[in-house]
C-alpha cells in the first residue's frame, strides 16, 4: 500500500470516529490531529487496529483505533463477551474476573470492562483495588470463571496501558480462542454495537478474602520451612516500583515466615506516573537503584522488586567483593529451577513423571539441570501463555514443577497460570535463607551451579522502531535474515537454523531439514553454532521492538576462572553482535 493509500485509509477511519457516537473530548483530540500539518500522530493512531500479541492488547493511551482508550477496550470486551456467550451457551451464568494495576486510567478501563460484561448478562467480579496479575489468574480458577481480563501494560513506560484476556484455566488466550475473539471484535463495525451501560446486579467486588486464599497458596509452595524459621530475620529489601506488589508481596513474605522485610517508602507510593523511575521495569538497573541504596544502608542479604502488575521480578545479590549486582532473568530462572528440583529430590518427590517448561529464548542451562536430574523439559514460544498451555495439556498426566523465561518471569506453582512474581519472590527469599545457612550468598550458589552444569552467559539487545514505518523496517530485517542467514557467529560456524514461521529446522552439517513440533507458526528465527552459541531473533508482540537474544557457552573449570570466563563470553557476544550488524 502506497503512502497516499495509507493516508486515505487513515483519514476515512478517523472520520468514522468524528461522525460516530464517541465522546466530545475524543473527537476534539482527533480534529486537532487532522488539522496538524505533520500527520504522523494521526497515522500512528489510526493506521491499524490493536491486535492481541504474546501479551494481549497493549499500546499508548489516547484516541484512535491503534490506541488504548475506552472504545478499543470496549470493542475488545464486547468481542470477548460475544465469544463467551457462544462458547458457553449451555451455562446458566457466565462469569469473569477483572483486575487492574496502578496505571493511569486502569481503574476506569476496568470499570468499563465490568459494565460491558454485565450489560451482556455476564457476571463480573472486579477487585476493589489494584491487585497483581497472578492473583487475578488464581481468582479465575477459584471462582470457576470462564474468562478474565487484566488492565495492565506490565513494565511498559507510563504512556502505555493494556488489556490481557484470560481463559477458564486462568491462562492467557491461545489458539483458537485468541483469533476467534479478534474475529468477534472485527465484526463490531460500529461503536453503537458496544453495550456500555452496565447492570450493577451482575457486578461484585473482590477483596481481602481472595487475598488470604492466594497468600495461603503461595505459602504452600515453601519447600523447607525449617530453613526459613532458622533464618527468618534474613534482610530482604523489596520494592513494588509503585505497583500492585505493595498489596501482596510483603504479606506473602510474612506468611511464609520472614520477619525482616525492608521497604522503599518512596516506591510504595501507588502511581501511574512512576515518579521515581524512568521505566518501571525490574530488568532495568535504574529501576532498582533506590532499592539498592536501601540495601547498602541496611546491609541487606537480598534485594527484590516487582513490576507494576506484579508478575515479573528483579533480584540483586552481593558478589564476592560485597558489591550488589543484578541477577538477570536467565540466572533467576536457573537459581529457582535448580533449588526447586534439588528440594523435590531431597524430599523424595521426584518419580520420573515431572517436568519443567522454558521458552525457546531462555537459557539452555535449565534444560541441562532438568535432564541431569531425570526431569523432562519442554521448549515453548515466548509468552507465558505457552507455558500455561503445556500445563493444561499435561494436567493429570505429568507433574509440573516450574517454568520460566528470560524476561524475568517465573511460575513455581500451577494454581496460577501466568508468571507469578509473588510466589517467585518468596521462593527466592527461601533460597537466600538456605544459602545463608550454608554460609554462602546467591552469587556463590550461582557459581556452584555453573561449575556443575556448565557456564552460560546470556544477553538481550533490542532495536526500537516506532509507528508504521518502524513496523515495516522490523519486517524487512526479519526477511533479510531469512533470505541470507549468517554463516558464522563469533568465529563459530552456524550449524542449525530454526525458522518458526515455517516450522522448519535446517541442519547444515547433515544438509537436512526437519519439522519443528510447535502448535503454530511464529515470526522467530534461531541460529545455533557448533560450539553451542545460540542467537534468537523475534519482533516483540507487545512493543515496537525487534529483539536479539544471545547465549554463549565457555569452559569453566574452577571458581577462580569465573571472571575470565565471564569476560570471554562478553567478548564472544560482542563479536556476534558485530557479525549481525546491529
Q: What is the DSSP letter of 312?
A: B
Q: Which residues 6+ apart lie within 8 Å of 472 measured at CB? A: none
CB atoms within 10 A of CB 511: 7
Angle at 349 between CA 344 and CA 353, to 5 degrees: 105
Q: What is the DSSP letter of 309?
A: T
Q: Grid coordinates in use for 390?
A: 503445556
Cα–Cα distance between 247 and 61 in angstroms, integer? Answer: 25
DSSP string, 203-249: EEEE-HHHHHHHHHHHHTT-S-HHHHHHTTT--EEEE-TTSTHHHHH
Residue whose C-alpha cell is 533490542: 462
Closest CA to 498 of 535, 457, 552, 460: 535
Closest CA to 25 of 55, 57, 70: 70
Q: Give the pairing of strands 409-411 and 399-405.
A: antiparallel
Cα–Cα distance between 425 and 296 in angstroms, integer? Answer: 20
Exposure letters 121-138 (e unless 16+ CB within 10 A, then b): ebbbbbbeebbbbbbbbb
Cα–Cα distance between 572 and 576 in angstroms, integer? Answer: 6
Q: Give the pairing of strands 123-127 and 504-507.
A: unpaired
Closest CA to 428 of 255, 267, 298, 305: 305
Cα 531 → chain centroid: 30
- Of 45, 154, 522, 536, the catalytic one is 154
Given a contact cutoff of 8 angstroms between Cβ atoms, the answer to whether 357 and 387 are in contact is yes
Cα 417 → chain centroid: 12
Q: Give the pairing of strands 525-529 and 492-499.
A: antiparallel
Q: Give the pairing of strands 261-263 and 236-239.
A: parallel
Q: Grid coordinates in use for 409?
A: 518471569
Q: Which contacts of 314-318 are long-range, i.e. CB under 8 A and separated by 24 or more positions?
A: 314/282, 314/283, 314/287, 314/288, 314/408, 315/428, 315/442, 316/288, 316/291, 316/292, 317/432, 317/441, 317/442, 317/443, 318/441, 318/443
Q: Could you confirm whether 154 is annotated as catalytic?
A: yes
SS3 label, residue 548? strand
Residue whose C-alpha cell is 503445556: 390
Q: Which residues 6+ apart lie within 8 Å of 440 measured at CB? A: 448
Annotated catalytic sites, by residue? 154
Amino acid at each position: 500500500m502506497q503512502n497516499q493509500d495509507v493516508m486515505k485509509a487513515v483519514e476515512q477511519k478517523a472520520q468514522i470516529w468524528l461522525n460516530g457516537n464517541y465522546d466530545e473530548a475524543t473527537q476534539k483530540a482527533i480534529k486537532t490531529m487532522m488539522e496538524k500539518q505533520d500527520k504522523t500522530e494521526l497515522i500512528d493512531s489510526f493506521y491499524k487496529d490493536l491486535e492481541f500479541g504474546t501479551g494481549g492488547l497493549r499500546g499508548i493511551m489516547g484516541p484512535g483505533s491503534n490506541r488504548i482508550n475506552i472504545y478499543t477496550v470496549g470493542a475488545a470486551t464486547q468481542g470477548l463477551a460475544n465469544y463467551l456467550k457462544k462458547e458457553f451457551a449451555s451455562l446458566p451464568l457466565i462469569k469473569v474476573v477483572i483486575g487492574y494495576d496502578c496505571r493511569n486510567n486502569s481503574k476506569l478501563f476496568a470499570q468499563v470492562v465490568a459494565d460491558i460484561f454485565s450489560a451482556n448478562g455476564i457476571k463480573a467480579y472486579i477487585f476493589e483495588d489494584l491487585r497483581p496479575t497472578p492473583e487475578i489468574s488464581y481468582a479465575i480458577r477459584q471462582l470457576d470463571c470462564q474468562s478474565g481480563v487484566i488492565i495492565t501494560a506490565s513494565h511498559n513506560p507510563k504512556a502505555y496501558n493494556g488489556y490481557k484476556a484470560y481463559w477458564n484455566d486462568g491462562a492467557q488466550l491461545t489458539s483458537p480462542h485468541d483469533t476467534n475473539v479478534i474475529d468477534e471484535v472485527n465484526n463490531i463495525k460500529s461503536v453503537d454495537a458496544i453495550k456500555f451501560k452496565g447492570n450493577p446486579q451482575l457486578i461484585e467486588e473482590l477483596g481481602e478474602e481472595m487475598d488470604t486464599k492466594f497468600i495461603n497458596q503461595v505459602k504452600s509452595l515453601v519447600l523447607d520451612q525449617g530453613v526459613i524459621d532458622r533464618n527468618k530475620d534474613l534482610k530482604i529489601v523489596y520494592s513494588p516500583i509503585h505497583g500492585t506488589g505493595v498489596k501482596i508481596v510483603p504479606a506473602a513474605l510474612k506468611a511464609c515466615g520472614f520477619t525482616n522485610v525492608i521497604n522503599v517508602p518512596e516506591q510504595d507510593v501507588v502511581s501511574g506516573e512512576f515518579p521515581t523511575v524512568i521505566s518501571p521495569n525490574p530488568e532495568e538497573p535504574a529501576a532498582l537503584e533506590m532499592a539498592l541504596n536501601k540495601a547498602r544502608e541496611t546491609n541487606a542479604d537480598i534485594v527484590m522488586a516487582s513490576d507494576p502488575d506484579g508478575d515479573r521480578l528483579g533480584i540483586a545479590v552481593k558478589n564476592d567483593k560485597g558489591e550488589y549486582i543484578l541477577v538477570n532473568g536467565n540466572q533467576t530462572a536457573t537459581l529457582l529451577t535448580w533449588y526447586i528440583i534439588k528440594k523435590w529430590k531431597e524430599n523424595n518427590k521426584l518419580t520420573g513423571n515431572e517436568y519443567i517448561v522454558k521458552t525457546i529464548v531462555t537459557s539452555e542451562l535449565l534444560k541441562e539441570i532438568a535432564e541431569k536430574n531425570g526431569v523432562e523439559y519442554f521448549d515453548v514460544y515466548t509468552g507465558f501463555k505457552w507455558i500455561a498451555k503445556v500445563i493444561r495439556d499435561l494436567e493429570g498426566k505429568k507433574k509440573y514443577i516450574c517454568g520460566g523465561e528470560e524476561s524475568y518471569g517465573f511460575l513455581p506453582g500451577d494454581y496460577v497460570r501466568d508468571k507469578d512474581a509473588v510466589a517467585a519472590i518468596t521462593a527466592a527469599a527461601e533460597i537466600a535463607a538456605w544459602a545463608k545457612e550454608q554460609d554462602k550468598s546467591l552469587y556463590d550458589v550461582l557459581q556452584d551451579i555453573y561449575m556443575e552444569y556448565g557456564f552460560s552467559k546470556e544477553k538481550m539487545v533490542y532495536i526500537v522502531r516506532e509507528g508504521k514505518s518502524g513496523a515495516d523496517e522490523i519486517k524487512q530485517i526479519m526477511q533479510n535474515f531469512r533470505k541470507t542467514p549468517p554463516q558464522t557467529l563469533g568465529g563459530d560456524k552456524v550449524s542449525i537454523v530454526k525458522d518458526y514461521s515455517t516450522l522448519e529446522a535446517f541442519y547444515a552439517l547433515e544438509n537436512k531439514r526437519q519439522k519443528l513440533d510447535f502448535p503454530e507458526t511464529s515470526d522467530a528465527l534461531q541460529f545455533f553454532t557448533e560450539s553451542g552459541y545460540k542467537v534468537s531473533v523475534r519482533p516483540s508482540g507487545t512493543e515496537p521492538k525487534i529483539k536479539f537474544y544471545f547465549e554463549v557457552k565457555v569452559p569453566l573449570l574452577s571458581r577462580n576462572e569465573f571472571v575470565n570466563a565471564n569476560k570471554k563470553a562478553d567478548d564472544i557476544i560482542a563479536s556476534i553482535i558485530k557479525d549481525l550488524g546491529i
